[in-house]
Chain A
Amino acid sequence: MVGELQQPMLGGSLRADQIGVFRRLRWWMFCNSTHLMVQQGLLRLVTIIIGSTLIWGFVFAAAIVGFHFLGQRYPLTGDFVRLFLDPLFLSLSGLLVFSTGLILYSSLFAKAESAFLLCTPAGADQVFAYKYQDALTFSSWGFFLLGSPVMIAYGMVAHVPWYFFAFLPFFFLGFVLLPGCLGATVCLLVVNYLPRQRKWLLVAVVALILGVVGLWGYRVAQVARPEAWNRDMAYNLEDRLSLAQYPLLPSTWLTRGLRAVARQNLTDAGYYLTLLWSNGLFAYVVTAWLARHLYRRGFNRMVAGDLVMRRYGGHWLDRILAGMVGFLHPQTRLLVVKDFRTFRRDPVQWAQIVIFLGLMILYFANIPRMFGEQIEWSYQNSISLMNLTSTALLLCAYTGRFIFPLLSLEGQKFWILGLLPLRRERLLWGKFAFAACGGLLIAEFLVVLSDVMLHMTWLGMVVHILTTAVLAVGLSALSVGLGACLPNFRESDPSRIAVGFGGTMNLVAGLLFLLIIVGLMAGPWHVLGSLAEQGEVNTPLADWVVAIGLFMGLVAGIGTTVLALRSGVRALARMEF
């Protein structure tokens, strides 16, 4: 018999309570995660803190040098500084729009948690607000990491009043709301009205952004010459950067507000701060209202419109790769192609590489524009070393993020590979060949492009090509070997495997390897070359030191590769699945 059951609690009180419910949920998860991290993931925490501090310190040092350089010529609290701050904040707001939109898309539409929350009485706007705050925190992390050292350096060099530093976080917090809301709105609209075209739209937007940034960078590089700062060039530069100074842009409000504080004009500062916060909060309310009406609809449209069946099969890229690794055992070759196929069918994975690669190519290709066709030796020397290190860092990120998790991902389906008539070590060789081929292709291309653009000597190019080859092979071996020694079979998400204990160890080992190899192989050529140019060192002796450095780097690279792969093979042989 049907019993008398309670009427549900409805209306405003429950909706108001939901804010508290989500706040408690976040607090519990924060406490538990922090406790776990301190207990089990201290190394990861320390690595994150050290890495962030290094990046912060590097940006801070570069900003201090830059502002000192400018401060000698122009008053830093004057209009001239806008030339730098406006484009900086406009670029950062573009990144914020993009990253908040992408993170929100993933957390609102692609996570099991969203489906769970949408089955509870939680209002769509409440779920959205909860996810939006997370996404904004995550995406603005980079903004604070890059924006705060620049502004603190500016404040220190420009001798601004103390309250400039106190105002900074309030300006930053108010500012991130607006691009965040724009990203969220775009995400909701795309999912609702263009659910099937969303991937192509993303590709088109990335291409458009790269194109616009490239064109803008090209136009700016045409007039900007670091070695020849003068008033005419400043006017030309201002003209080229006028887009970034549009008065209705929040980035302009931020720059004007901060400059007002620096000039101790608190009335203007308060006006721009209020402008940022009032518009930011209004945009947040509008976006939440939009989410209330569009989130569930979008979720439905995303799921319902996503069933375009495709016939998957061979691809010319697979055949090219199979040809490239034709010297390997057929079984190993098959494994290489299998890994590549999985990789290319996951755009989330390769899109990150493509974006970074695109940005680096754009920068390398524009080197002559920035420094002129006749680049000074000192610039050539330092910029080529910096480009080599950047490429090595990209390689390190690629192997850590994509190669290290490969073996852990096999764990859950090892019964397939484990039962095949296949020697276990072939698995490892397959992944190593896949990683090394990809790494070599990408890194060598970048380094050669950079050296050609910088008009490097053939000897310099040989040194860089050799260094890059050792780095690509060694980092691949480290990631594959450590991936077998420190696997994580519980996770199915490669990004989470990459940031776990094993992934962090791999990152630390990779960075150490990078420092040693660049230090041994490229370091002597750059340092001694510079000293020889100034006549401070004997040239034949310098050649010997460079050769010894290259040899030692080669030995270190081969040693690391052999050791890492041997440890990996042994660990894999002992492994139980």
Chain B
Amino acid sequence: MIELQNVSKAYGTKIAVQDLSLSIEAGELFAFLGPNGAGKTTTIKMIVGLLFPTRGSVRLGGFDMQREGDRARQLISYVPDQPFLYEKLSGREFLQFIADMYGMPREHGRQRMAEMIALFGLSEFVDDLTERYSHGMKQRTVFAAALLHEPRVLIVDEPTVGLDPRSVRLLKDLLRKEAGKGVTVFLSTHSLDIAQELASRIGIVDHGRLIGCGTLAVLRKQASLDGSLEDVFLKLTEEANEERVGVQPSTASAIKSRTW
């Protein structure tokens, strides 16, 4: 469903993603892990078509993101780490906007909106303007909007930040359920316990390179370590860092020295 082939992305002189190849099947819950600045968000932005790869290609549902992006985006829902809501719309109007944008038939849209409002417990505030929502209320509304049109690929970036334990639990159940229905879930997170608990496969990225990918068992084998995902993650990123420092010159030379 998601296919990245030798994808690289450069920001000026800085290489954010380097030769990344990845294939994620329908119904898979894939966790994407990595330290800060590893290239996770850049990868996600390329998958949703916000950024174009400098090299390589991204295909989603068989559509090339660069050439057939409008078709591919019809299949996706993306929940970024800082989700966007129109402040001057109510939650219900925002859901209606999403239903209309994805061309849902009116009756089906209404039915799905009612389901989402019930599922995420939005009924108390759904008719209030979103500018008055708390972070948790916003996050729930964004998830309701993301699932409203029954996407085939759900991409979520740091979904648990700022959520209370109850909401985190709801979210975990939801992601599992969606994957069970055949939706491909691409989850980028720093929360290793959630990744370990939910993911069928895990990818670890560091300095733009995919340094490990597979089930927890595969990653343990790669790290020659029989510990938790946290131990495996730390060992693999540490090894990759040592290897990188030994091989690559410092990026400091790329920094434009200028006082401003």
Binding site for B on A (CB under 8 A): 1-6, 8-10, 13-14, 17-18, 20-21, 24-25, 28-29, 32-33, 36, 112-113, 115-116, 118-123, 196, 296-297, 299-300, 303-315, 345
Cβ of B73 and Cβ of A119 under 8 Å apart? yes
Q: Which of A5, A20, A309, A345 contacts B152 (CB 8 A)?
A: A5
Cβ of A300 and Cβ of B14 under 8 Å apart? no
Closest A residue to B12 using CB positions? A307
Closest A residue to B84 using CB positions? A116
Cβ of A18 and Cβ of B258 under 8 Å apart? no
Q: Which residues of A contact B101 (CB under 8 A)?
A: 18, 21, 120-122
Cβ of A10 and Cβ of B71 under 8 Å apart? yes
Known: A9-B74, A17-B103, A296-B69. A305 touches B50 (CB 8 A): no
Complex Cα spacing A305 to B80, Å: 21
Complex Cα spacing A487 to B78, Å: 35
Complex Cα spacing A307 to B39, Å: 14
Q: Which of B27, B71, B88 contacts A2 (CB 8 A)?
A: B27
Complex Cα spacing A544 to B255, Å: 66
Instruction: Other than A13-B103, A36-B88, give 4 A-B pairs with Cβ distance below 8 A.
Output: A3-B181, A28-B97, A303-B50, A304-B51
Give B46-66 as 1s and 0s: 1 = Cβ < 8 Å from A's Cβ atoms. 001111101000000000000
Q: Which of B76, B97, B181, B257 contacts A21 (CB 8 A)?
A: B97
Complex Cα spacing A118 to B73, Å: 9
Cβ of A311 and Cβ of B86 under 8 Å apart? no
Cβ of A28 and Cβ of B11 under 8 Å apart? no
Closest B residue to A28 using CB positions? B93
Q: How far is the CB of A53 from chain B (nearest CB, A)?
A: 26
Cβ of A311 and Cβ of B255 under 8 Å apart? yes
Complex Cα spacing A21 to B73, Å: 17
Cβ of B97 and Cβ of A6 under 8 Å apart? no
Binding site for A on B (CB under 8 A): 9-12, 14, 26-27, 45, 48-52, 54, 69-71, 73-76, 78, 80, 82, 84, 86, 88-90, 93, 96-98, 100-103, 129, 150, 152, 181-183, 254-260
Cβ of A311 and Cβ of B181 under 8 Å apart? no
Closest B residue to A8 using CB positions? B74
Cβ of B259 and Cβ of A311 under 8 Å apart? yes
Q: Which of A29, A299, A309 contacts B86 (CB 8 A)?
A: A29
Complex Cα spacing A118 to B80, Å: 13
Complex Cα spacing A352 to B12, Å: 29
> Could you jot down 25 A-B contacts, CB within 8 Å?
A1-B182, A3-B182, A9-B102, A9-B103, A32-B90, A32-B129, A36-B129, A113-B84, A113-B86, A115-B50, A116-B84, A119-B48, A119-B73, A120-B101, A120-B102, A121-B74, A196-B12, A296-B49, A300-B51, A304-B51, A305-B11, A309-B255, A309-B256, A310-B256, A311-B255
Q: Which residues of A contact B26 (CB under 8 A)?
A: 2
Q: Which residues of A contact B260 (CB under 8 A)?
A: 310-313, 315, 345
Closest B residue to A2 using CB positions? B182
Q: Which of B84, B129, B257 contacts A115 (CB 8 A)?
A: B84
Complex Cα spacing A9 to B260, Å: 50
Q: Which residues of A contact B90 (CB under 8 A)?
A: 32
Q: Which of A120, A306, A311, A345 contacts B258 (CB 8 A)?
A: A311
Q: How far is the CB of B95 from chain A (nearest CB, A)?
A: 12
Q: Which residues of A contact B258 (CB under 8 A)?
A: 310-311
Q: Which residues of A contact B9 (CB under 8 A)?
A: 304
Complex Cα spacing A5 to B77, Å: 14
Q: How far is the CB of A340 from chain B (nearest CB, A)?
A: 14
Cβ of B256 and Cβ of A308 under 8 Å apart? yes
Q: Which residues of B contact A113 (CB under 8 A)?
A: 84, 86
Complex Cα spacing A147 to B129, Å: 37
Q: How far is the CB of A7 from chain B (nearest CB, A)?
A: 9
Q: Which residues of B contact A306 (CB under 8 A)?
A: 11-12
Q: How far is the CB of B45 from chain A (nearest CB, A)?
A: 8
Cβ of B12 and Cβ of A305 under 8 Å apart? yes
Q: How far is the CB of A484 from chain B (nearest CB, A)?
A: 24
Known: A9-B74, A120-B73, A311-B258. A32 touches B150 (CB 8 A): no
Most B CB within 10 A of own CB, among A18, A297, A306, A308: A308
Q: Which of A5, A18, A119, A123 contacts B78 (CB 8 A)?
A: A119
Cβ of A315 and Cβ of B259 under 8 Å apart? yes
